[in-house]
Chain A
Amino acid sequence: MRTRSVLLLFLMLFCGRAVVAAEMPAQKMISFADSLFEKGDYYRAITEYERVIFFHPGDPLALTARFQIARAYLKGDRVDQAVERFRALNQEFPNDDIGKKAYYMLGEAYYQKREYSRAADIFTTYIETYPGDKRIDACRIKIGWSYLRQGQWRQAADEFEKLPPDSPLHTQAEGLAEGSEKYPGIPTKNPTLAGGLSAVLPGAGQLYVNRPGDALVSFLLNGAFIWATVEAFHHDNNVTGGILLFFESGWYLGNIYNAVNGANKYNRRSEQQFLDGLQDKYSVSYRYDGRGGNMLAFTMRF
């Protein structure tokens, strides 16, 4: 009898906990999901948002949960899933704020995916579809950035300059327009020149693109193999000479490729540093607090 009582007590304890979990209000559930989201645990956050949708499908917070799921996918680098969900939300609620937000985030998703042309199209459509909306200025900034990422600095500067003087983002836009004008001044190396230099003297192109270690390795390797090949042929060791020539041709072509590759990497790095610097200096972003609240956040380094 006593055993049964103890077992019953255990069962009651477990069942009690299960009932409490099922009856938890949506607000509490979403708070927990938000806390996971803030920690960067997007995978578990998605599960918790799904829980809100499952247990409280009629609650307005279920819609917030759907939006947050899409954001979690975006933050978790699952951009395709995020795009799918943002698009679905916009198509379902095109004229509600959640639908507008979803469309803006769709542009952000394409931007994160480095599909800058598509991102610019989305933001342009946003401006055309929702004229007078509070996110218009942020959209213009994003269009400018999309152009800048594609190297179209003139179009970027034009887009930044479109922001009206009474906009809270006007100062940032001015700075960005000014920064865009400096785009042609980014230090670059000519890949053809680098390749040509290395073709004449192995290692010279690498020196030109600021890679002295590569220059030394290239010069020594090619020098040693050329010398060995010449010596082999000079001593009538044609087979050895042929084998060495085969290897040397690989090193020689690799040396030219190395110089051209180095120049392209240098240019990519320079552009990245320039854009990152600009981003750090005039960062503008839309933030969401997970309750449907919007915040326009901008930072300016001085």
Chain B
Amino acid sequence: MRMTLYERGYNYDKGKNTGSGPVIPFASLATLREKFLVDRSSVHPLQVLVLFILILIPLQSSAAEMPWGPWSVNDDAPVLLLKADRRTAPTDPASKPVPSVAATPFLWLLSFYQNVVGPVVSGRCNMYPTCSRYSVESIRKHGPVIGIVMTADRMMHELDEQDLAPLIKVGNRYRYSDPVENNDFWWYAQ
């Protein structure tokens, strides 16, 4: 004959909420045993099996939701990224060239465009990186004068480059890959 905890006179009022977590009822081990093993003689193997299945199902579903792939937190055990992942992976901030003082106003303007104007007129650039991103990268790499010239070049060569550049998937959209290195390789040693 099963009984609920309430029927057995379990005193919930003894539980104390410390404010840092859920209410933990103050109960002796014997009380907890009573709670979970209500009537030990009536436990059927099928019940154990069901219990196992119930435990395993949420584990499986959470595993299925997690993106499956190599991961690492240790440089000694690195992961191999797919080519497409590497293209879209964020670059190491330490490897970014430090902009000069003269470049700062241009970078501010570009930042203003990216944050204020960009969201309104976004989606027009078919290239990767986008023209504003390309401009930021070229100014950071070569300074404001060459950076602006390279930006003008980029805006002019978009049309023909789409017939030649490789198509890559960035996020949920295909773009033509045309990084800064594709346009300074003939004069700038990496």
B6 within 8 A of A: no
8 Å CB contact of B186 from A73, A77, A264: A264
A191 within 8 A of B: yes
Of the candidate stretches A105-113, A171-179, A206-214, the one touching chain B is A206-214
A76: chain B residues at CB < 8 Å are 80
Whether B150 lies near A257 (C-beta < 8 A) is yes
- Bound-complex Cα distance A214 to B163 (A): 12
8 Å CB contact of A258 from B78, B148, B157: B157
Whether A261 lies near B49 (C-beta < 8 A) is no
Q: Which residue of chain A has the shortest Cβ distance to B47 in the bound complex?
A: A3
Whether B159 lies near A253 (C-beta < 8 A) is no
Whether A251 lies near B152 (C-beta < 8 A) is yes
B89 within 8 A of A: no
Whether A2 lies near B45 (C-beta < 8 A) is yes
Across the A-B interface, how many residue pairs have beta carbons closer than 8 Å? 81
List 30 A–B pairs whose Cβ atoms lie within 8 Å, in order of A's numbering.
Answer: A3-B43, A3-B45, A5-B45, A6-B49, A10-B52, A42-B80, A43-B79, A77-B80, A78-B78, A78-B80, A191-B186, A211-B157, A213-B160, A214-B156, A214-B159, A214-B160, A217-B159, A250-B148, A250-B152, A253-B149, A253-B152, A254-B152, A255-B152, A257-B150, A257-B152, A257-B153, A258-B156, A261-B186, A262-B160, A264-B186
Among B159-185, those with CB < 8 Å from A are 159-160, 164, 182-183, 185
B78: chain A residues at CB < 8 Å are 78, 81
Question: A-facing mask of B42-71, CB < 8 A → 1, else 0?
Answer: 011100110010000000000000000010
Chain A residues with a Cβ under 8 A of chain B: 2-3, 5-7, 10, 42-44, 73, 76-78, 81, 191, 206, 211-214, 216-218, 221, 250-251, 253-255, 257-258, 260-262, 264-265, 268-269
B151 within 8 A of A: yes
Q: Is the interface of A mostly helix, strand, loop or mixed?
A: helix
Whether A254 lies near B83 (C-beta < 8 A) is no
Whether B157 lies near A261 (C-beta < 8 A) is yes
